[in-house]
Structure formats: structure tokens, C-alpha cells
Amino acid sequence: MPTITTADGTEIYYQDHGQGRPVVLSHGWPLCSDAWEHELKVLADHGYRAIAHDRRGHGRSTRTSAGHDMDTYAADLATLVEALDLTDLAVVGHSTGGGEVVRYAARHGAGRVTKVVTAGAVPPVMLQSPANPEGTPIEAFDGIRAGVLADRSQFYQDLAVPFFGANREGSTVSQGQRDDFWRQGMLAGLQAAYDCVKVFSETDFTEDLKALDVPILIAHGDDDQIVPIAAAAYRAIDLVRLGTLRVYPGAPHGIVGAYQEAFLADVLEFLAD
């Protein structure tokens, strides 16, 4: 099982497919690199070296109770990139992973990262405040923490419904896809899943977005019930210098179905430019 070891001894598992220009993909909460398996295959089939890791405390990486903050997540990603000596690198992040790749690129990516892609990503900041009135109230995140702590198995089954838009008329998401969300969520340690709620909801990426000096594709579904587009992509695009915004009508938070097909086409076009 391929892993790298961080400075504090945490083992980070990763998948590595194909050959060519490297693309590293970062998953959302509470998932793991398996969330990107379709994208990994498509990218490898198109001549890229496609890599995805399990964030610390998630998937097959060490179930550590330490380091659940965005600076450490970005440093872990930097350790992976440096261990594999990746250059001319594109980074892709979904949801929490979108924040991770933005912080990584802004603070560690000089000389390595040439393109950034986010999808349904949390930047600039999710939490509602006077400066961010379109954000999500703290009570919603308190509810997530309570659900994870009380019965995370049932909570993940319930969360899969809005995650994939299964509560919308005409939804075609399968039970199998919802079950796989539950499966991946249950691989995350309880401490990691609980602590990461604060990380994805309260971390402010404003200065990271401003600091990016490489092209960024910001993708978002306009029916995202988990990371509403008004406080995310519509604000993020105004903070970056070299940004392209792609909005997918009716698309949910989870990247599935027609949304996945359109998103992948846009990513391949963006990477080829």
C-alpha cells in the first residue's frame, strides 16, 4: 500500500495512476481518495499521471487525533508532492479538498503548481458572519458535529441525500452511489470527522485566493445544498487574478452523473490549454 510519512509520523496513503503531467486530487469531507476513482481513470486514460491521497484521519491514512487544521492538511499535501518530486503540477480539490489545494498552492506551490481546479469548494469561508452574510450559520455546523458524534453511520446515510441532490425531482443518483458515500465516511476516524467540521467551515481562504498567481478553474453546481454557491464560487471568483468560473445548472454538491461528465470535460480542456 503506497504511503508517505509526514514530519509528525502520520502515514498518508495515496493512489497513483498513469504517466505524464501530474494531477493531484484532494477529496471532500468525510470521504477519501476513492471519491476520485472515476476521475483518476479518465485522467490517466488521457495521458496524465493522476494521484489522489487520503487526508490524515480519513480513508487508509493514519487515524491520528492531531493535526486537524488546514495548515497541516496543506503541509501533508506538500510532503506528498515533494516525496514524489512532482513539477508542472495541476491540483484539483472538491469541497474541503478545494480549500486544501488553494492553501497548498498559495503557500507551498511556488515552482511546482501551474494550475488549480476547485469544485463545490469551501473558499473563501463558509461560516456566516457580518462580513459574510450569505454564509452558513454556526448552528448548522454544530448540528453536523452533533450528528457525527451521536450516530455517524446514520448521519452519513442521511447526509448522502442532499449531498447528491437525491431529494430533488428528477434525481438519477443511485442507491449504490449513496451507499459508497456512507462506506467512505465510515473509514474516517471519529476524531478526524468531528474536528474537520471546524476546519472546513471556519477556515478563511481569502488571502490564499488573492495570493494565487496561476490559472484557477472554479466549478460549482448552482443547486449545491452543502456548500451554497453564493458564499463560495461567486465570492471566490472575485478574489483571484486568473480565474475562470463554471456554473453547472441544477448540479448538486457530489460530482456524479451529467455533472461529472461536464466537469471532467471542462477539466480536460482547462489542463490542455
Tens-binned pLDDT, residue by residue, of the chain (273 aa): 799 999 999 999 999 999 999 999 999 999 999 999 999 999 999 999 999 999 999 999 999 999 999 999 999 999 999 999 999 999 999 999 999 999 999 999 999 999 999 999 999 999 999 999 999 999 999 999 999 999 999 999 999 999 999 999 999 999 999 999 999 999 999 999 999 999 999 999 999 999 999 999 999 999 999 999 999 999 999 999 999 999 999 999 999 999 999 999 999 999 998
Write out the residue range of the structural domain in which residue 186 sits.
3-272
Q: Residue 65 is part of a domain; what is its CATH number?
A: 3.40.50.1820
Q: What is the DSSP string of 235-250?
A: HHTTT-SSEEEEEETT
Task: In whole angstroms, give the CA distance from residue 118 to residue 99.
Answer: 8
∠ CA 164-170-176, nearest 5°, is 45
**Given this model, what pLDDT does residue 127 score?**
98
The structure's pTM equals: 0.97
What does the pLDDT read at residue 273?
A: 84
Q: Work out whether strand 216-221 and strand 243-248 pair parallel, antiparallel, or are unpaired.
A: parallel
Q: How far, in Å, CA of 91 to CA of 131, rounded?
A: 29
Tell me whether strands 21-26 and 11-17 are parallel, antiparallel or unpaired. unpaired
**Residues catalogued as catalytic:** 95, 224, 253
**Residue 1 confidence (pLDDT):** 76
Total structural domains within the chain: 1
pLDDT tens per residue, range 250-272: 999 999 999 999 999 999 999 99
